[in-house]
Amino acid sequence: MSVVRRVVAPNPGPYTGPGTNTWLIDAGSVAVVIDPGPEDDAHLAAIDRALKGTTVAVVLVTHSHPDHLPLAERVASKHRASVRRFPELADGDVVRAGNLNITALHTPGHSADHLAFWLPADRALFTGDLVLGRGSSMVTYPEGDVAAYLRSLTRLVALNPAILFPGHWDPVTEAVAKLEEYRAHRLDRETQVRAAIARGAGTLSELTQRVYGSELGEELTRAAEMTMRAHLQKLADEGAVRVRHTRAEEIFESVS
């Protein structure tokens, strides 16, 4: 099993948990860095300390969100390393670094540019924000795509990973069970959305309150609305929901 170390960025919050995980993988005489994290001098210094003088061969980025990407160029420039991310790094590309072969997997859903990184020899999967160590991942409109997200989860289940190294929270040793949990959660949410709209047409705000309640607070309410909108878009694409556009807002209604 490859030695994997973690440096947690100092960016805790409702969407990042304790902070973004920067993963360091020992690859013989060099290291691989996955998700260098947010633009933060203290975090960059912490990564340097954790590397203990080891040269970085390559910097990999799961997706371009501001808690994962910004430090990539600064880490890479210190070591004259390359930064590899989508779309330059495509689905199925193998990154060779030291004694490691790491396969990039295009896993859209949380974001269109999302990659997971697979170490087949260890059956280890770096999941970025597709799957977290705790809670659920955000799939929000317009960036998130629920149908793509479900396909990505199904694809990862088929790999039968032994361990997940997520973008937030702790590693997951019950890897397949966690992937199945995430898939079940998203399908359960779709069932709730279908039930909400079956009760009658509604605006995005009205439907969100039917599913999530009305006591989330402003920030979480906005996230819930964008999650609801992503689910409604999937159902609209499948022909199960009709969207009526008024001068003020969208009205969603069941087709069946």
CA–CA dist 85, 88 (Å, integer):
6
CA–CA dist 85, 50 (Å, integer):
23
- In this model, does residue 231 exceed pLDDT 80? yes
Domain layout of the chain by residue ranges: 4-187, 190-254
User: In this structure, which amino acid lies at residue 165?
Assistant: F
CB atoms within 10 A of CB 27: 21
Stated pTM of the model: 0.95
Instruction: Report the candidate in 13, 47, 45 with the shortest Cα–Cα distance to residue 32.
Output: 47
190-254 has CATH 1.10.4080.10 classification: no
Mean pLDDT, the chain, rounded, equals: 95
pLDDT tens across 109-135, in order?
A: 999 999 999 999 999 999 999 999 999
pLDDT tens across 151-201, in order?
A: 999 999 999 999 999 999 999 999 999 999 999 999 999 999 999 999 999
Is residue 51 within 8 A of residue 24, CB to CB? The reply is yes
Cα 251 to chain centroid distance, Å, stands at 29
- In this model, does residue 256 exceed pLDDT 90? no
pLDDT tens across 86-95, in order?
A: 999 999 999 9
Fold of the domain spanning 4-187:
Metallo-beta-lactamase; Chain A (3.60.15)
Strand partners, 10: none
| SS3 of residue 176 by DSSP | helix
Here the tokens at position 36 are 């260098």
Q: Residue 148: which pLDDT band, with cuts at 50, 70 and 90?
A: very high
In the chain the first and final C-alpha atoms are separated, in Å, by 52
